[in-house]
Amino acid sequence: MSLLALATESFPMNERDLDAVAALEASLQAFPWSRGNFADSLAGGHSVWVLRRGGELLGFSVVMQVIDEAHLLNIGVAARHQGCGHGARLLSQAMERAKLVGATKLFLEVRPSNERAVELYRHFGFRQIGRRKAYYPATDGREDALVFDKELA
């Protein structure tokens, strides 16, 4: 079967995914979430999903919901699969899932240096509502976070 014939599908993340998701995160970030962070998200009942084609992990998303608000905690796509619409698919599905369980707004933070992500969020109608000073660790100290939100209703 050719790679093109394989369907790309989303699945709820489970314990068996933790090592692969943590490895993917480590390949994407200078200061990645640990395996334990992902395990805690699973144990905490967050909406955690993986995107796969065949057995290959393409990406993941983690959303925490509190009453009628949701917070995109983490999202990532394997470097060699970026620019193919997988991030947009993960984000769109995260918004739909949050809406289905009663969220009316989705929040997120993003590094200003992550221009590709900022562009994706703006494309989806997110608006910048704030800035958190020195929020993220960085190789030269700390980096601010841009805070975005989007109405889901």
CATH topology for 3-151? Aminopeptidase (3.40.630)
Q: Tokens 């939100």 map to which residue?
A: 149
121 is catalytic: yes
pLDDT tens for residues 31-85? 999 999 999 999 999 999 999 998 899 999 999 999 999 999 999 999 999 999 9
Q: Of 56, 69, 121, 143, which is the active-site residue?
A: 121
Q: Of 15, 25, 56, 109, which is the active-site residue?
A: 109
Domain spans of the chain, in order of start: 3-151
pLDDT tens for residues 122-138? 999 999 999 999 999 99
The one-letter code for the residue type at 94 is A
Sign of CA dihedral 90, 84, 56, 115: negative
